[in-house]
Amino acid sequence: MFTIAKILLPIDFSPRSTDAADAAAAVADHFASEITVLHVMAPPFDLSLATAEGARADAEQRLKEFRSNEWQNLRVKRVLLEGDPASKIVEYARSEHVDLIMMPTHGYGPFRRLLLGSITAKVLHDSSCLVWTAVHTPDAASCVHSAQPRHIACAVDLGEQSRSVLSWATRLSGEFGAKLSVVHVVASLDPRLQTYYLSPEWRGEVIDAAKAELVQAMEAAGLKGEIHIEIGSIADAIAAAAKSVQADLLLIGRSSLDGVTGRLPTNAYAIIRESPCPVLSV
């Protein structure tokens, strides 16, 4: 059993950030967590003192009123900071020993849906705690269901972080009594997309070898669940698998390394962007 004592909910008062608040409330209700609602104001470089003070007073009032009626039975802190939003979010999470950051990815639109918002991307890249991101595409699954998941999809690459991801999958599925599907993607074998080609015989051997390695990793983690070995583009194949099992939460891993290289693997951005359900990055 595990617990989530502190949840950080960064908001900008947009509809998408308020959507994430419903999921944060559901998690807080389940774990009796404390929610910190954080709003970060950009530095007022070109504003007069009176205008800056007015903007701050307005932000303080909006922050005070945010879900004030709905969350009377929850433990809530409200914090207003000034500076670069992504940096302040990461710094606050570290200094306050936050267990989980919950936030949207970006607004919708024909172009914007192709990109993760810069703030969310930096938080995913730099933070060391769990990060929950809402569905990026317009045809979103329920964020509340993802906070109380019934079916979890867990994507692993069989690299160094797979053990940690499988460990989290074990704890989460046990905590919520959720079904679990473990997904591994073998890189596309389509000769039109790659510079190499595997015969059907080699293709079968590659899949069987990946499945055997995945079974071994799951047994080591004490994990039971459906196994899905997919072939194709990593992000597309994981999204398709999550959709096919009707997952309401996708679990992916991040590197344990901090520093210049950050913690988020290259494919994670695309996975989060294409996922049909919210993603928990561990």
34-41 and 75-82: which strand pairing? parallel
CATH superfamily of 1-140: HUPs (3.40.50.620)
Which has the higher per-residue pLDDT, 277 or 161?
A: 277
Give residue 111's pLDDT.
38
Instruction: Tell me the pTM.
Output: 0.86
- pLDDT exceeds cutoff 90 at 160: no
Specify the residue for token string 């992000």: 235
* Residue 250: closest CA among 163, 145, 113: 145
Which range, of 23-37, 48-62, 186-200, averages the lowest pLDDT? 186-200
Helix axes 162-176, 200-220, angle to 10 degrees: 60
- pLDDT exceeds cutoff 50 at 17: yes
Specify the residue for token string 């409330």: 25
199 CB neighbour count, 10 Å cutoff: 9
State percent of the chain over pLDDT 70.
81
pLDDT interval class at 242 (50, 70, 90): very high
Domains 1-140 and 149-282 share a fold: yes
- pLDDT exceeds cutoff 60 at 2: yes
Give residue 53's pLDDT.
80
Domain ranges of the chain: 1-140, 149-282
* Residue 266: closest CA among 278, 252, 280, 276: 252
Tokens of 41: 């104001």
Work out whether the CA dihedral 137, 141, 147, 153 comes out positive or negative: negative
pLDDT interval class at 140 (50, 70, 90): low
265 CB neighbour count, 10 Å cutoff: 17
- pLDDT exceeds cutoff 60 at 106: yes
Tokens of 198: 């595997």
Look at the domain 149-282 and name its fold.
Rossmann fold (3.40.50)
Q: What would the mean pLDDT of 202-211 be, rounded to a whole number?
A: 82
List, for residues 222-240, the tens digit of each pLDDT value.
888 999 998 888 999 999 9
